[in-house]
Amino acid sequence: MSIQSQIRSNVTKTYFFMAGFIAFVILIGYVMGNALGYGNSFMYLAVIISVISSFVSYYWGDKMVLAMSGARPADRQRDFDFFTVTENLAIAAGIPKPKLYVIEDTAMNAFATGRDPEHAIVCATTGLLERMDRREIEGVIAHELSHVKNFDTRLMAVVAVLVGTIAFLADMFMRSLWWGGGRRNSRDRDGNLGGILMIVGIVLAILSPVIATIIQLAIS
Amino acid sequence: MSPTVIVIGIVVLIALYVWSLYNGLVGLRMQVAEAWSQIDVQLKRRADLIPNLVESVKGYAKHEKSVFTAVTDAHKAMLGAQTMDTKAKASDALSGALGKLLALSENYPDLKANENFIQLQKELSDTEDKVAYSRQYYNTSVTDYNTRLQVFPNTLFAANFGFTPKEFFGATDTDREPVKVNFS
């Protein structure tokens, strides 16, 4: 597969999975809402939450990740090797130089995030930068830049937030069960149907985080 | 579907294809031009580092006149070079002179330990890397452009639009000779 077709494939996969997850969330919302007796209102709420999550993850996912990990911007004097190696490799790859951040941590780790090469961020820990020499850092950065150029970062950011949303909804459902059933509305005349929906709802609530994680692993 | 409609459809499809081919080639040709000036940017950056380097070495090794003149002459030649050929020659001369300048530090331990000198060495080495990477990017752009020109359906049309293949950045004959290491 050429690099262009890989990029196209990742961008398409991103949209497909956003659509697929939203559909999955709607399904869960429908089943759980009706099982609890809230009718379709639960589903509408689920749709709103999932759409908002998708947009937030798309535009701000990278800043969220940085804030969570306590990263500081890289400085040319202090992190000369990290800085210049990334500059050089970005020249060779034909992408703009990503913003660089450093995390104070003894564990050796590095990651890339951001929705496209123009908004990319590469982050490394001090553990990695101190223990690796210039050539080894070059290998790590080359790997991260390949993720950036391939649009993997966009796909993974979107998927991660959507998986989280599903876990959140499943959790909400389990809590409403625990704190006592829902209202009975006029649709719920048949006791058996309510019971079946309830069972399906519980099964989905338990399985959906697992399914979502499996889908996430399948994409990565 | 009557034959007229089919023929019109085919003509429209071919027109769309030719249009997208032309625009694609223009884009790639622009990228090759950009990559070419990128190399110049990095070479200029290297030339800009030279005066600082010479000053910091002069502070410790005032008497090594021949080396200093070699570097300053090469630097002047680099600044004045306009065509690709003269630039390549000047760049090679500069690399040679710089090598001798940096080797001076072996005889002057104070110079070798000087923080400024060490930092300038790192910057110079990094700039040489940048020159190499920008040449690599130029070659990548040329590959994409030439390939797009020469794949089958495109060859029928590309020449009519005046697109010509570009040349790669290669090694010169002196580059291909075995390297002689001489510490005298």
Find the CATH number of the domain harbouring B66. Answer: 1.20.1440.20
Backbone Cα Rg of chain B: 25
In a domain, B13, yes or no: yes
Say how many domains are in chain B. Answer: 1
Contact A88 B38 (CB under 8 A): no
- The pLDDT of B13-28, averaged and rounded, is 91
In a domain, B139, yes or no: yes
Facing residue for A91 by CB, picked from B31, B38, B122: B38
pLDDT of residue A43: 75
- The pLDDT of A3-13, averaged and rounded, is 78
Identify the CA nearest to A100 among candidates A123, A69, A80, A117.
A123
pLDDT tens-digit profile of A134-173?
Answer: 999 999 999 999 988 888 877 777 777 777 777 777 777 7
Angstrom distance (rounded) from CA B59 to CA A184: 90
Query: Which stretch, A133-137, A193-197, B166-170, has highest mean pLDDT?
Result: A133-137
Grouping H, G, I as helix, E, B as strand and the rest as coil, residue A18 is helix
Facing residue for A94 by CB, picked from B42, B126, B140: B140
pLDDT tens-digit profile of B50-85?
Answer: 888 888 777 777 777 788 888 888 888 888 887 777
Does the pLDDT at position A186 exceed 50?
no
Q: Which residues of A touch B140 (CB under 8 A)?
A: 92, 94
State the burial class of residue B71 (Cβ atoms within 10 Å of its Cβ: 0-12, 13-18, 19+): buried
Which tokens sit at B94?
């500069």
Which tokens sit at A7?
């990029």
Collect all residues with Cβ–Cβ distance below 8 Å to B116 and sequence separation of at least 6: B56
Contact A94 B31 (CB under 8 A): yes
Regarding whether A123 and A73 lie in a shared domain, the answer is yes
Query: Which stretch, A5-14, A149-158, B19-28, B118-127, has highest mean pLDDT?
Result: B19-28
In a domain, B24, yes or no: yes
Domain that holds residue A101: 67-152
Q: Which residue of B has its CA nearest to A2?
A: B144
Contact B133 A80 (CB under 8 A): no
What percent of chain A lies above the pLDDT cut of 70? 84
In a domain, B184, yes or no: no
- The pLDDT of B108-125, averaged and rounded, is 82
Q: Which residues of A touch B122 (CB under 8 A)?
A: 80
- The pLDDT of B123-145, averaged and rounded, is 90
Identify the CA nearest to A82 among candidates A141, A168, A42, A23.
A141
Q: Let me know: does B183 contact B49? Beta carbons within 8 Å.
A: no
Query: Residue type for B39, please?
Result: I
pLDDT of residue A129: 93
In a domain, B150, yes or no: yes
Active site residues per annotation of A? 144
Collect all residues with Cβ–Cβ distance below 8 Å to A60 and sequence separation of at least 6: none
Collect all residues with Cβ–Cβ distance below 8 Å to B107 and sequence separation of at least 6: B61
Size of interface A-B (CB pairs under 8 A): 26
Q: Which residues of B touch A89 (CB under 8 A)?
A: 133
Of A152, A170, A185, the residue that ends a domain is A152
Regarding whether A168 and A124 lie in a shared domain, the answer is no
pLDDT tens-digit profile of A62-89?
Answer: 787 788 778 889 988 889 999 999 999 9
Contact A87 B140 (CB under 8 A): no
- The pLDDT of B93-104, averaged and rounded, is 81
In a domain, B163, yes or no: yes
ipTM above 0.90, yes or no: no
Say how many domains are in chain A. Answer: 2
- The pLDDT of B113-140, averaged and rounded, is 87
Domain that holds residue B86: 3-175
Contact A88 B130 (CB under 8 A): yes
Regarding whether A144 and A127 lie in a shared domain, the answer is yes
